Amino acid sequence: MKILAICIRIPEDGKKGDQVLSFHRLRYLAASHTIHLICYGSPENDSIAVAKLQSFGISVQLIKFNKITAGFNLLKCLFNYKLPFQCALFQSSIYRNAVLESISVFKPNAVYAVMIRPLINLPVYSLPLFIDMVDSMGLNFSRRAAMEHGVRHFAFKSEFRRVNAYEVSAAQRAWLSFVVSAVDKKFIECEKVRALPLGINNKYFNKQPVDDSSPVIVFTGNMNYKPNEDAVLWFYHHCWSELKLAVPEIRWVIAGNNPTANVQALRSDQTITVTGRVPSVAAVINAARVSIAPMQSGSGMQFKILEAMACGVPVVTTSLGLGDIGAKPGQDILLADSAEEFVQAVLTLLGSSELRRGIGDAGLHYVNLHHTWDALNAEFEHATFSTLIQ
C-alpha cells in the first residue's frame, strides 16, 4: 500500500514526542508499505534524520519553513475565529502544492497525518485519512488556560476554543484517529478516536549499573515546552528548599533541549544543573537515584516517566503526570500531588536503596509488558491500513 505521511517536524528518535512517535510508527510501517513523507525541515539541519528514514525505504520531501509567511498567517488568523493559531502557523501554499502533486503523482491509497497541525495543507479529503493526534491539544490548552491569569488566561482560553472545535472536526473527518491516553480520547468525544499508548525504545532506555551513591534527582524533557517549564518551576518554588534542608548534599539535574530563560535562571542555585541538550538522556537518567515528573499542566502521556521506568529508576509524579499510564501507585511508581507529599516521596526514596530498587524494577517490568513499540505499532497497523487491504 502507498501511504502519504504529512508532519510539521521530521520524524526522529530522541526528539520531541510527536517526532519520536512518528519515527517509530513509520519505521514499522515501511517494512510493509511504500511511504512518501512531506514535512518541514532543511537539508542542512536534518540530513542525518533524512538518511535514517531513507534507510527504511521512506522517500522524504522537505519543505522550508518561512517565518515571514508564518507571521502573516498569524495576523490573518486574528480575523478567522475557526482556525487555531497552532495550525495557521504551519499553513503554506508550497506545502499544500507538494501534497497535491504527491496525490497526483505518487497516488497514495491513504494519508497519515501526525498531529492536527499539518491538516491545514491537506486540501483533498477523498482519501482515507488516519491521524496520530498524539494528545488532545484542546485538553492541553484547557489546562494551561486554567493556570494563567489576566491577558495570558484570555489568550489561552481563546486558543482553546479554536483548537477544540478544529480537533473535533478533524477527528470526525478522519477514518480513524489516535491519542496516547483514554483521558485525551474522552476529552475529544468522538467515536472515531482510539487510545493507543506510547512505546519506549528499550534498546536505548534500559537499566545500566551505575554508582548512585550521590543523592541526585533528575527531570527530563524538552524545556521549551510550557508544561515542562511549569513543572520545574513549581517543584523549585514549592519543594526544593525543603529537600535541601533535609539532604544538604542533594543535587538536581534538569536535562532537555532549549531551556527557557526561567529555567536557565535556576543555574544560580549551585545545587541545580541545567544541561540543555545531552548526548544521552538514558545516561543522565541512570545516573540519578530518583526521576521526578511534577506535572501541573499538559496532556497526553509522559515520555519522561516511561523512559525513567525503562531505566529502572523510580519515578515520583502527580496524578496529572501519571494520567493514563497503568502503573500501580506505591508498587511501580510513587504518586504525590501536594508539595508536602512530593517532598516526602522523594525523601523516602533517597533514604532507602531497597525501596528504590523495588519501585525501579517493578516500573521496568511494567514498561516491558505494556509499552514496546513493535507491539503497539502492529496494533496501529491492524486498525488502520490493514483494513483497507482487506
Q: Which residue has the higher pLDDT, 204 or 95?
A: 95
Assess whether 228 and 161 both reside in one domain: no
Give residue-wise pLDDT tens across range 269-300: 999 999 998 999 999 999 999 999 999 987 77
Range of the domain at 82: 2-199+373-389
In a domain, 32, yes or no: yes
Assess whether 186 and 302 both reside in one domain: no
Give residue-wise pLDDT tens across range 307-346: 999 999 999 999 999 988 999 999 999 999 999 999 999 9
- The predicted structure's pLDDT at residue 253: 97
Q: What CATH number does the domain containing 100 carry? A: 3.40.50.2000
pLDDT at position 76 over 70: yes
- The predicted structure's pLDDT at residue 37: 98
Strand order through the sheet with 176-179: 59-63, 34-40, 2-6, 110-114, 129-134, 176-179, 193-195
In a domain, 209, yes or no: no
Assess whether 378 and 266 both reside in one domain: no
Q: Which positions ≥6 away from 348 have C-beta within 8 Å?
A: 334, 355
Assess whether 143 and 247 both reside in one domain: no
Assess whether 23 and 74 both reside in one domain: yes
Assess whether 297 and 256 both reside in one domain: yes
What pairs with residue 341 in β-bridges?
Answer: none
Joined grid coordinates for residue 212: 548512585
Give residue-wise pLDDT tens across range 140-194: 888 888 888 888 888 889 999 999 999 999 999 999 999 999 989 999 989 999 9
Q: If DSSP codes are grouped into helix, strand and coil, which group holds residue 109? A: coil
> Can you give the three-state secondary structure of 151-209, one letter per residue?
HHHHHHHHHHHHHHHHHHHHHHHCCEEEECCHHHHHHHCCCCEEECCCCECCCCCCCCC
Backbone angles phi, psi at 30, to 5 degrees: -65, -20
Assess whether 253 and 134 both reside in one domain: no
In a domain, 211, yes or no: no
In a domain, 207, yes or no: no
In a domain, 76, yes or no: yes
Length, in residues, of the chain: 390
In a domain, 28, yes or no: yes
Assess whether 363 and 381 both reside in one domain: no
Assess whether 192 and 290 both reside in one domain: no
Q: Average pLDDT in the 220-239 region?
A: 94
Residue holding cell 501536594? 338
Query: CA triplet 174, 177, 183: central angle to 5 degrees?
Result: 140
Confidence of residue 390 (pLDDT cuts 50, 70, 90): low
Assess whether 159 and 221 both reside in one domain: no
Count of domains for the chain: 2
Assess whether 381 and 318 both reside in one domain: no
pTM of the model: 0.86
C-alpha torsion sign, points 360, 238, 198, 181: positive
Assess whether 342 and 230 both reside in one domain: yes
In a domain, 204, yes or no: no
